């Protein structure tokens, strides 16, 4: 996050404290993204801004909400095999394929932010099985995520 020209990193589910002079404008530019274990990008970078003013106390709490036109993808694999492929918008002209591994250990794995569309669907595949989520049925709320549980 860049706030009034200074850079800050907000950890997952964390916060950052910034103080200012009464009635000064605070302009924050925020980018959120999912990363893999090597720091590489997964999904899309979500960028947005927040404009606020400092109150007379000099500090305030401003929630950083990812807009409702994005969602964060979480996959929990209870299946018999690891997932190796993910088709985004399977069967549509906008279909894309990503190769990543989701172990079949029952843990939640985050796979980044994606545009939230009412027609969005996913197909996940292992060597033997596949799971289809068509449509994803998103709630279209700020900070939304979709947990897909594979059995």
Cα separation, 17 vs 66, whole angstroms? 19
Cα separation, 138 vs 140, whole angstroms? 6
- Give me the sheet containing 41-53, strands edge to edge: 6-7, 2-3, 25-35, 41-53, 108-115, 70-77, 145-150
Instruction: Count CB neighbours of 61 within 10 A.
Output: 6
Please identify every stretch of the chain with a pLDDT value under 70, giving residue numbers as ranges: 11-14, 36-37
Residues 6-41: pLDDT tens digits?
887 776 666 777 778 888 888 888 888 777 667 777
pLDDT at 28: 82
Taken in order of first residue, the domains within the chain and their CATH numbers are: 2-53 (no CATH), 70-150 (2.60.40)
pLDDT at 13: 66
């Amino acid at each position: 996050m860049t706030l009034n020209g200074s850079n800050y990193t907000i950890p997952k589910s964390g916060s950052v404290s910034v103080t200012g002079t009464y009635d000064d404008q605070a302009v924050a530019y925020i980018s959120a993204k999912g990363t893999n274990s090597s720091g590489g990008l997964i999904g899309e970078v979500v960028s947005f801004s927040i404009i606020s003013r400092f109150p007379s106390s000099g500090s305030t709490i401003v929630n950083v909400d990812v807009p409702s036109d994005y969602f964060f993808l979480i996959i929990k694999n209870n299946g018999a095999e690891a997932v190796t492929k993910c088709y985004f918008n399977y069967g549509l002209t906008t279909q894309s394929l990503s190769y990543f591994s989701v172990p079949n250990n029952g843990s939640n794995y985050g796979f980044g932010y994606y545009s939230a569309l009412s027609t969005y669907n996913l197909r996940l595949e292992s060597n033997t099985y596949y799971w289809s989520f068509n449509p994803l049925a998103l709630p279209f709320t700020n900070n939304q995520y979709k947990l897909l549980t594979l059995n």
